[in-house]
């Protein structure tokens, strides 16, 4: 396709593989019913430090496999097919390779298991991660761990789905190898995602490179038909091109042919530079306390009581995001742990270490990974309780988790799935960085995951220094040339010797200077309209109104949180082999022929609007609009259904931005609310410097501006 993706019309719940193209055989139901029950499957972790790290997280998710249902039923559709769309979409959103539904026959319960009164199941398959090349140090770490890692991921996905179903008021249990009451292979066959080959169930597209998990439930569902016996689906020309808009064989081969330490995106084509493309005055950037972050200020009551109350629930008021809250919170205590004496692994080569740690990150599910040293200013100055933080690690492994292009296509950006997109990325990032840290500590290397729920570092400067993007007009947000702003980050800090990456330049400063789409579409006018960049706390930036943005995201009553700037950004595109030709050409030229930007950018932005990018694609809307209120899941009173508005007036009144400088932040040990002074923050525009003025001051030996200096403590 030239302008649109062939995937645009494919319903999201169909998944990435064209199962709808395969023949089915209802007789397989009886064949499975006639075979005897089996014993519960056993999980045998590999006897390695990685295997132990993976098992610790598997064990954690296993504790969540039998959640308790809410006492009242949610207003779910009577249409059983619509229920399945919701659950399959959820499974794919959480990165299952296959998903299907079936009835649970008596002989599907394992011998000696506790048989629940569950008549239905959603069954998933998780694809095995790619084992690194033999000459990569990570090969020996991971060579026997593909199955157990997929089982860990399967238990995570199944537990989230089970918690979600229980939030609807129904019963549900999660099952994966080593912690299952059901025959997972039998259910995979009955659900139409695998075929029998001898005594094994195999995927028609991935053979035995999958591990199965399931959720059994009393939530009534439409069921899929089993597949006709087949070992391998036809992988001819239609599969190569992408049958019915499914992921193409060409795209899978392209990814498979890339080195295991490289992401799926050709970041090696992007220009590398010595410094980020926006000015950072390293010696003037203030270290700020966690208490100053605006979501923390909302939680402490600085933005008023209503905002404080909504801060307690805004990101997880949808039952799916609520289902991810338990794993996120449970992983937090695992972030810190003892460093063992060390094993026999040789970690003396920074180049080999960097290659291996990137391969490990991609094996676990990172979408893009970069490495940098951690400057002192990237560390928060104080914990949330006011205790000082001393920088403690030298390097940062910075990872991006894609929030899901297709799901974002179906959304307005500020409706009920927005918070779920963030929570999924935060959950997955905490899991990836957590297992990596657990592994390194067991090998004698200090390491700590820095997650959304508990980070001692500011992640924006590390994203820039690790070469994963440039600062954008959205303000305190980095854009990547291949996924745009559509990601959340997680950081692993460590003392493992690592080769670092350089910052990148793909011409974003010019692009953002000539594209106002995010500012035009922002529902709370928090993004600046003019091209005037300022120096804020030592950074050159298009400064957004973070207070205004925080208030909208927290108190949004027609959705959960907000990601509208990500949704509508012209760089939020698919640029893989399956993406539209215009996206691939435009991205390649944008990265490799930046001198064309004066010609390309106006056309690209104009065309982006005229082709309707940023509009909702309802083929991709799989979720149910629901809200958890006072311990019950209900239908929301309203839902944002925004589409782009190319005629929206660009009102310069938006430029009355509140600048909360370092000297206006609350002290690090402030227990009581410190109300924001919005009037003073707007008036503080008078002390701002332009980048040129800041450089001129520095050249003359001028002192650091007073508004860069935070208040130290309540007591003085």
For residue range 57-81, what is the model confidence (pLDDT) as tens digits? 999 999 999 999 999 999 999 999 9
pLDDT of 578 > 80? The answer is: no
The mean per-residue pLDDT over the stretch 516-545 comes to 94
pLDDT of 28 > 80? The answer is: yes
Per-residue pLDDT at 1: 56
Mapped onto helix, strand or coil, the DSSP state of residue 461 is helix
pLDDT digits (tens, 9 = 90+) for 401-454: 999 999 999 999 999 999 999 999 999 999 999 999 999 999 999 999 999 999
Phi, psi dihedrals of residue 381, rounded to the nearest 5°: -80, -30
- C-alpha 561/C-alpha 554 separation (Å) is 6
Per-residue pLDDT at 702: 95
Residue 2: pLDDT band (50, 70, 90) is low
Per-residue pLDDT at 368: 98
- C-alpha 542/C-alpha 703 separation (Å) is 23
- C-alpha 282/C-alpha 502 separation (Å) is 16
The mean per-residue pLDDT over the stretch 578-605 comes to 79
The mean per-residue pLDDT over the stretch 531-544 comes to 94
**Which of 1-10, 204-213, 249-258, 516-525 comes out lowest in average pLDDT?**
1-10
pLDDT digits (tens, 9 = 90+) for 464-491: 999 999 999 998 899 999 999 999 999 9
Per-residue pLDDT at 652: 59
Q: Are the C-beta atoms of residues 245 and 8 closer than 8 Å to each other? A: yes
Q: In the chain, pLDDT over 90 holds for what percent of residues?
A: 84
pLDDT digits (tens, 9 = 90+) for 33-48: 888 888 887 888 888 9
Q: Are the C-beta atoms of residues 100 and 122 closer than 8 Å to each other? A: yes
pLDDT of 654 > 60? The answer is: no
Per-residue pLDDT at 507: 95
Residue 341: pLDDT band (50, 70, 90) is confident
- C-alpha 295/C-alpha 302 separation (Å) is 10
The mean per-residue pLDDT over the stretch 264-286 comes to 97
One-letter-per-residue 3-state SS of 250-306: HHHHHHHCCCCCCCCCCHHHCEECCCCCCCECCCCCCCCCHHHCHHHHHHHCCCCHH
pLDDT digits (tens, 9 = 90+) for 197-219: 888 999 999 999 999 999 999 99
pLDDT digits (tens, 9 = 90+) for 601-650: 888 888 899 989 999 999 999 999 999 999 999 999 999 999 998 888 77
Q: Are the C-beta atoms of residues 189 and 28 closer than 8 Å to each other? A: yes
Considering only CA atoms, which of 316, 45, 32 is closest in space to residue 155?
Answer: 45
Summary mean pLDDT of the chain = 94
- C-alpha 445/C-alpha 356 separation (Å) is 14
- C-alpha 108/C-alpha 38 separation (Å) is 8
> What is the token pair recorded at 614?
């940023």
Residues 6 or more apart whose CB falls under 8 angstroms from that of 250 comprise: 240, 241, 242, 577, 578
Considering only CA atoms, which of 558, 576, 580 is closest in space to residue 251?
Answer: 576
Q: Are the C-beta atoms of residues 461 and 83 closer than 8 Å to each other? A: no
- C-alpha 607/C-alpha 596 separation (Å) is 16
The pairing of strands 447-450 and 487-494 is antiparallel
Q: In the chain, pLDDT over 70 holds for what percent of residues?
A: 98
Per-residue pLDDT at 328: 97
The mean per-residue pLDDT over the stretch 376-391 comes to 97
Residue 515: pLDDT band (50, 70, 90) is very high
Q: Are the C-beta atoms of residues 150 and 129 closer than 8 Å to each other? A: yes
pLDDT of 716 > 80? The answer is: no
The mean per-residue pLDDT over the stretch 135-161 comes to 97
- C-alpha 323/C-alpha 420 separation (Å) is 9
Q: Are the C-beta atoms of residues 265 and 483 closer than 8 Å to each other? A: yes
């Amino acid at each position: 396709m030239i302008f649109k993706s062939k995937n645009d019309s494919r319903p999201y719940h169909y998944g990435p593989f064209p199962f709808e193209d395969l023949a089915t055989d209802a007789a397989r139901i009886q064949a499975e019913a006639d075979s005897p029950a089996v014993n519960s499957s056993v999980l045998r972790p590999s006897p390695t430090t990685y295997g132990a790290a993976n098992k610790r997280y598997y064990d954690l998710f296993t504790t969540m496999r039998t959640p308790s249902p809410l006492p009242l039923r949610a207003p779910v559709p009577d249409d059983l097919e619509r229920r399945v769309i919701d659950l399959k979409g959820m499974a794919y959103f959480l990165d299952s390779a296959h998903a299907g539904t079936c009835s649970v026959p008596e002989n599907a319960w394992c011998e000696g298991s506790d048989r629940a009164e569950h008549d239905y199941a959603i069954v998933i398959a998780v694809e095995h991660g790619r084992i690194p090349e033999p000459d990569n140090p990570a090969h020996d770490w991971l060579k026997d761990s593909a199955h157990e890692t997929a089982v860990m991921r399967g238990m995570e996905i199944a537990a989230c789905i089970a918690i979600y179903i229980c939030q609807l008021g129904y019963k549900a249990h999660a099952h994966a190898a080593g912690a299952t009451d059901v025959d997972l292979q039998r259910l995979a066959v009955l659900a139409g995602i695998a075929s029998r080959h001898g005594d094994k169930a195999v995927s028609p597209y991935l053979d035995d490179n999958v591990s199965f998990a399931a959720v059994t439930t009393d939530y009534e569902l439409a069921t899929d038909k089993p597949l006709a016996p087949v070992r391998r689906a036809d992988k001819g020309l239609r599969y190569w091109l992408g049958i019915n808009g499914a992921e193409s064989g060409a795209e899978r081969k392209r990814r498979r042919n890339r080195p295991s330490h490289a992401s799926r995106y050709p970041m090696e084509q992007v220009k590398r530079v010595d410094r980020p493309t926006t000015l950072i005055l390293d010696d003037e950037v203030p270290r700020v306390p966690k208490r100053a972050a605006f979501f923390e200020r909302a939680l402490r009551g600085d933005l008023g009581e209503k905002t404080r109350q909504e801060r307690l629930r805004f990101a997880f008021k949808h039952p799916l995001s609520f289902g991810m809250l338990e794993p996120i919170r449970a992983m937090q205590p695992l972030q810190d742990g003892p460093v063992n004496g060390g094993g026999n692994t040789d970690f003396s080569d920074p180049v080999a270490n960097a290659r291996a740690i990137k391969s490990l990150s991609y094996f676990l599910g990172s979408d893009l990974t970069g490495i940098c040293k951690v400057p002192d200013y990237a560390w928060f100055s104080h914990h949330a309780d006011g205790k000082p933080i001393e920088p403690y690690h030298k390097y940062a492994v910075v990872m991006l988790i894609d929030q899901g292009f297709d799901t974002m296509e179906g959304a307005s950006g500020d409706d009920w799935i927005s918070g779920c997109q963030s929570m999924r990325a935060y959950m997955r990032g905490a899991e990836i960085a957590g297992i990596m840290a657990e592994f390194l500590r067991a090998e004698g290397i200090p390491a700590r995951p820095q997650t959304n729920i508990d980070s001692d570092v500011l992640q924006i400067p590390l994203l820039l220094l690790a070469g994963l993007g440039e600062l954008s007009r959205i303000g305190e947000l980095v854009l990547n040339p291949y996924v745009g702003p559509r990601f959340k980050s997680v950081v692993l800090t460590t003392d493992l010797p690592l080769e670092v990456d350089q910052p990148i330049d793909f011409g974003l400063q010019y692009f953002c200077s000539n594209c106002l789409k995010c500012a035009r579409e922002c529902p709370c006018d928090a993004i600046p309209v003019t091209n005037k960049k300022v120096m804020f706390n030592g950074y050159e930036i298009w400064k957004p109104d973070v207070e205004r943005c925080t208030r909208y995201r927290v108190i949004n009553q027609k959705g959960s949180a907000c990601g509208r700037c990500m949704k509508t950004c012209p760089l939020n595109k698919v640029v893989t082999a399956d993406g539209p030709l215009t996206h691939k050409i435009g991205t390649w030229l944008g990265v490799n022929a930046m001198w064309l930007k004066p010609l390309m950018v106006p056309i690209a932005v104009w065309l982006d609007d005229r082709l309707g990018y940023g509009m909702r694609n309802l083929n991709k809307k799989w979720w149910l609009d629901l809200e958890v209120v006072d311990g019950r899941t209900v239908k929301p009173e309203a839902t944002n259904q925004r589409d782009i508005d190319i005629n929206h007036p660009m009102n310069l009144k938006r430029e009355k931005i509140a600048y909360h400088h370092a000297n206006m932040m609350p002290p690090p040990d402030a227990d009581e609310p410190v109300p924001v002074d919005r009037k003073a923050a707007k008036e503080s525009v008078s002390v701002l410097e332009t980048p040129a003025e800041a450089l001129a001051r520095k050249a003359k030996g001028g002192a650091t501006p007073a508004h860069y200096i935070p208040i130290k403590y309540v007591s003085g």
